[in-house]
Structure 1
Amino acid sequence: MKASGFKRSWRVPFDEPPKPRTRHCDHPGCTAEGEYRAPKSRDHLTEYYWFCLDHVRAYNASWDFYKGMSPEQIEAELRRSTTWQRETWPLGAKTGNRRFNFGIHDPFGVFDEDVVREQNAKARAETPEQAAMRVMELDGELTLAILKKRYKLLVKRHHPDLHGGDKAAEEKFKEINQAYTTLLASLTA
């Protein structure tokens, strides 16, 4: 089967591509091709000079990004650069007083300060024996003889008859009797 009026040609016409425009070196008096870019200033980092190899080397050797800045300004710029010039906040600043609402075992109170306060309160809570020792003004090793001697001394000192029926003395006397009973029970048990 023969196609009418159509002749195949495997030859593709070869047109010479247009020559790329060449930039001239931006260094004054240089006629070489400017192939290498260099930023114009630290404030305009997207605007460039185009230099030949020799002049870009000289420009880079003499260019200082921080030229004209005080040490405080340099430090501020370095800090901003570490976060890619984005605004940051101190940790927890945007969260407010939000509490976590998921249930996890947090014995050290990492997520909730109330847990720490409760645990500290439990740790500081006195046992009945410790409270009784405090009331009896005793510390250290306790024997039955020491307890009885201290009891007699405190009863004589705080007896309500000696204070003319004073309510505070009466309450202290009751407290001493209760402490004595508690300590006596723990020593004889």
Structure 2
Amino acid sequence: MIASSRKPRAFAPDPNAPGRFCDMPNCPNQGEFRAPKSRSTLREFHWFCLDHVRAYNASWDFYKDMSPEEIEANLRADSSWQRPTWPLGRLGGHSRMDEALEAELHAFAFGPRPKAPSQASAPPELREALSTLALDWPVTLDDVKTRYKELAKRHHPDANHGDKRSEERLKVINLAYATLRGKLASNLARTAETVAD
């Protein structure tokens, strides 16, 4: 048997129709065509006969009672399937290139930036973690959190198209953050106990 290649007509009854009468009052016909109830409930439907669904569709205005700004925002969101977006390269490899370019321009205009102080005064168990997050000792927990968020965004695999090197770098950053956070939190707890005594 040869399958028919004809497409169903646009006004063919919905095969999932609930088998009830048209939602238009006093209409004796079967409600075989669905139409969304409102803009905010697009997954809830009225069921109409063919004549009434045509009339309903002719009067349907998705943007009714919306301001021009709301319409523009809705259209922009639709262009990305209602998913959040960000400018290309902002979270990926291009941001590192921007930082390098900024450093070169700064050096050209003002001379080289001063060298960061050595980590010699930092506790030995924290030096590697501080170096990984490019932080100087002494450091606060807020500084560590801010730097971690910045690096995690930059090296996240989703921002780098699933790059394995970024994934490995993020693992190292996570370990360094956990080390510093644990040590600084325990120091804060000890300081609070001392003050309480």
* TM-score category, normalised to shorter length: 0.3 to 0.5
Provide TM-score, normalisation by structure 2: 0.40
Provide TM-score, normalisation by structure 1: 0.41
Higher percent of residues as helix? 2
